[in-house]
Amino acid sequence: MPRSDPCVPLNPRLPLRLGLVVLSGAFAITAAACTPRDSGEKSIKAEFDLSELWRAADRFRADHGREPSSLAELTSPSDGRPPYTDDRRDPWTGEPYRSRIDSKGRLEFYSLGSDMRPGGDSHRRDISTKSSETR
């Protein structure tokens, strides 16, 4: 028997299902756009993060008159102040950035790059807050 009303969908749940498919596709596209996909994008993210960590350490130095002792001191200050920066992670490992004391006695944050070994060139090079000092 032919349908009498062409405006009524065959399945009343069809619009809901189509909406969910479109919505989940939009979430997938957003997630893909926000995640670094290759080493070039990861290098850019690491450079940005390390530059921000350098500025956060500068603000900490101005407030306390000393070097921060760790990344945790910038992200969760024990003196009740708001964080100097949010939790930033190495895009290659997902772990917090590494840190060490540089030759001037300052806390330096760094990433070993995509090869996870000291040295390297291009996307395999180490990236550190030292390169942010001149910015």
**Successive 10-residue mean pLDDT values, the chain, 135 residues:** 58 62 59 57 91 94 92 89 92 92 88 78 73 46
Rounded alpha-carbon distances, angstroms, from residue 92 to 3, 40, 59:
58, 11, 27
Strands (E), the chain: 98-101, 107-111, 127-128
Residue 50 lies in a domain: yes
Cα angle 86-115-100, degrees, rounded to a multiple of 5: 50
Given this model, what pLDDT does residue 105 score? 86
Question: What CATH number is given to the structural domain containing 115?
Answer: 3.30.700.10
Number of domains in the chain: 1
pLDDT the model gives residue 36: 47
Residue 128 in contact with residue 108, Cβ under 8 Å?
A: yes
pLDDT at 135: 40
